[in-house]
Structure 1
Amino acid sequence: MSITAAQAAAELQQLAVAIHDMMVNRMMAYSGFSLMVFDWFLTLPDEITLIWGARWTAVKTAYMINRYLIPVLLSFEIYVWSGYATLITLGFCRNVFAAQSFIIVAFYANVHWMVSLRAWLLWERRSSIGFTIIAVFLLYLLATCLIMGKELGPIRRTAQVIPEMNVCFAEVPSKLWTVWLPSILYEVFIVIITITKAFKHSKNIIHSPVLETLYRDGFLYFVFINLSSVMNLLVWGVAPQGYFLLAIFFTTALCQVVGSRMVMDLRSAGQAKPVEVVYGSAFHRHPVARVVAYKTSEVTDDRGFFEMNTFSRENDGY
């Protein structure tokens, strides 16, 4: 069957739109990846000092995954979508979409887990809070995996190769944006328990570099990662399908930077000089008690950031 001039023009128009959208995706991906690499070189001296010498813990493991495994995976993904990859076949595209989907889920789960540990430390590693965080985290992860698994079927079925661009393509399911809802709800849960603890601390005048870093980075993280999740939701929900990759490359690179700096900032605060931590009621003119924090020689032990210091209580005439 011959193709009419109108059909040929329509196909050319679709190809032009696809090329434009892919260029936007690539430019944003290159920008995010460049920022990630620049930040890696910028913070490498601090990482060597603060992280490399520490013993392996849940925090360090999550940090190393975020710091090194994610850039490697993103490098491969960017190569696949660059147009220069070889052996782009239909089967390869289907496998790439499947792997890509769950890599994103695992990445955000890893960053959320690092933030969860910070929230738990604010509560002085209380068992009840720890069990609650783990339960809600598992619910969030299970819901995300179920939604992603359900929506992955249509993606794999509609996968195809665009030979003119040497890239994979698939239709974005109409409900795929819902995969970000559990993430947003979990972030709200974390900020609620953080605010609750901050309110408890507000009843006492407390000055500590570790606490200040925990609260500052905790709230900054919530604003940043929540905006990233909302952006991903909007990209997959209302943006043109050609911008699908923005939620994979650009925001992932930015969140990787935030996750790495979050851990290093707290470790840096834990190694601050000895400080005087004053406990007192916000409604009293004079402090009730005075606590002096002295840094121990085992500051690299990050089982809990509240174990970095040894405290001696001094009677203040109360």
Structure 2
Amino acid sequence: MASTVSFNQMVRYIYGTRYITYSAYCLLIYDHLLTFADELNLVWQSRSMNLVKALFIFNRYAVPVMLAVDVALLSGGLPSTALRPMCKGWIIFDTIVELAALGSTTCITNMRVRNLWADRQDVDRFLSLVWVLQFLASVAIMVNYLVKNAGSFSYEPNFNICFGTVHQAWWAWVPAMVFYVVLFIAMIMKALSTPRNEHTPFLSVLLRDGFVYVVVVFSSMLFNLLSWALAPAGLVQMPHYSSWAIATIAITRFLLDLQKRYYIELAPPEDDATDEFPMSEPKWSVWKATSQITPTLNDPFYAYYVAPFPMTDMRRRNSTQQALLRDLRNDGPPHDSV
């Protein structure tokens, strides 16, 4: 990465970073609003809490708040008297939170892929070990980076922003990227080793949910890595915020889609459908229950679309089921069938 740039180049880089960051943040908030009704129906229908739900809430709400502060700091509109003393502390805190967010997304993805291999304890243990190793490696690299470069985190008076070097920080993305490659290979192996039949929604479950998510997140990390390793110093913040927003959108969509699929795949025949409500209109009343649903336990992919969020009320589960079926009949199926 180039160590020095001219003032005119720095102006272009800073303004380019601002525009891309603003766009990414607007996209994050827009997607949050689009999926808020689904969140109410699919996540908050139960007061119970599990690890996936806790990590989902963390990414869903902590990340937008952190990025809102980052956008404000990057805008150059804050008073210099307030900005100057907080730059170093905020950059360190922001880095720690982003590391936690990265660890939570890899943890969620690892749990979903491990469910695919529930019948193979050796594979399950291997994937767990790989996740622990990659997270520890990411923490070690980031701690080393903060110790060596914390002195460069300072106030930039020309642009009224916080700034710092990312020398050798691109290594922090390598462990997670290697981990996603391992998950990708694990999904391919499971897909190739499982025969297709009426109980294996091959494209919808593996390709659409798993592969697409991994590719999106891996690509955003690769963008960060290449930018920090090769781009000029003035562009160090450009991939940081946009990639974080994209990864948050991806994990949110991934989990909400899994929860929807749980209802759809295990839904009763259309003739039994009652009490249908559109997902855009969350219902908090006591709904009339339909017939209970028995999971297709002979489906080798059942563990993959088992609801990631806890549910304690059968009536609410069945009502949400009918809402999704209503959406499918109005808008068409969300995926191709094989």
* TM-score normalised according to structure 1 size: 0.78
1:190-222 Cα deviation digits (max 9, x unpaired): 111111111121x34244459832442110012
What is the Cα deviation at residue 250 of structure 1? 0.6
The 5-angstrom pairing of residues 24-173 of structure 1 reads 24-54=16-46, 55-86=48-79, 87-89=82-84, 91-124=85-118, 126-173=120-167
What is the Cα deviation at residue 14 of structure 1? 3.2
Secondary structure of 1:53 counterpart:
coil
Secondary structure of 2:35 counterpart:
helix
Q: What is residue 285 of structure 1 aligned with on the other side?
A: none
Q: Distance in 1 between matches of 2:235 and 2:293?
A: 50
Q: Distance in 2 between matches of 1:243 and 1:94?
A: 19
In the alignment, which of 170, 180, 183 is matched to residue 187 of structure 1? 180
Q: Distance in 2 between matches of 1:47 and 1:151?
A: 37
What is the Cα deviation at residue 239 of structure 1? 0.6
Secondary structure of 1:295 counterpart:
coil
Q: Conserved in 2, the CA contact under 8 Å of 1:144 and 1:182?
A: yes
Secondary structure of 1:247 counterpart:
helix
Return the structure number with greater strand share: 1
Q: What is residue 277 of structure 2 aligned with on the other side?
A: none
What is the Cα deviation at residue 92 of structure 1? 2.2
Unaligned 5+ segments in structure 1 are 1-10, 276-293, 298-302, 309-318
Secondary structure of 1:161 counterpart:
strand
In the alignment, which of 218, 232, 252 is matched to residue 226 of structure 1? 218
CA radius of gyration, larger in? 1
Aligned length: 271
Distance change (3 Å), C-alpha of 1:50 and 1:209: farther
Secondary structure of 1:88 counterpart:
helix
Higher relative contact order (CA closer than 8 Å, sequence separation 6+)? 2
What is the percentage of aligned positions where both structures have the same residue?
26
In the alignment, which of 6, 14, 23 is matched to residue 6 of structure 2? 14
Q: Conserved in 2, the CA contact under 8 Å of 1:25 and 1:246?
A: yes
1:42-76 Cα deviation digits (max 9, x unpaired): 11111111111143112211111111111111111
What is the Cα deviation at residue 127 of structure 1? 4.1
What is the Cα deviation at residue 129 of structure 1? 3.4
Q: Distance in 2 between matches of 1:304 and 1:217?
A: 14
Q: Conserved in 1, the CA contact under 8 Å of 2:191 and 2:206?
A: no
* TM-score normalised according to structure 2 size: 0.73
Q: What is residue 293 of structure 2 aligned with on the other side?
A: 295
The 5-angstrom pairing of residues 147-296 of structure 1 reads 147-173=141-167, 175-201=168-194, 203-208=195-200, 212-272=204-264, 273-274=267-268, 295-296=293-294
Q: Distance in 1 between matches of 2:304 and 2:165?
A: 46
Q: Conserved in 1, the CA contact under 8 Å of 2:196 and 2:202?
A: no
Q: Conserved in 2, the CA contact under 8 Å of 1:120 and 1:126?
A: no
Q: Conserved in 2, the CA contact under 8 Å of 1:81 and 1:168?
A: yes
Q: Distance in 2 between matches of 1:204 and 1:197?
A: 12
Distance change (3 Å), C-alpha of 1:93 and 1:179: same
What is the Cα deviation at residue 99 of structure 1? 1.6
Partner letter of residue 230 of structure 1?
A: L
Root-mean-square deviation over aligned CA pairs? 2.5
Q: Conserved in 1, the CA contact under 8 Å of 2:262 and 2:306?
A: no
What is the Cα deviation at residue 20 of structure 1? 1.8
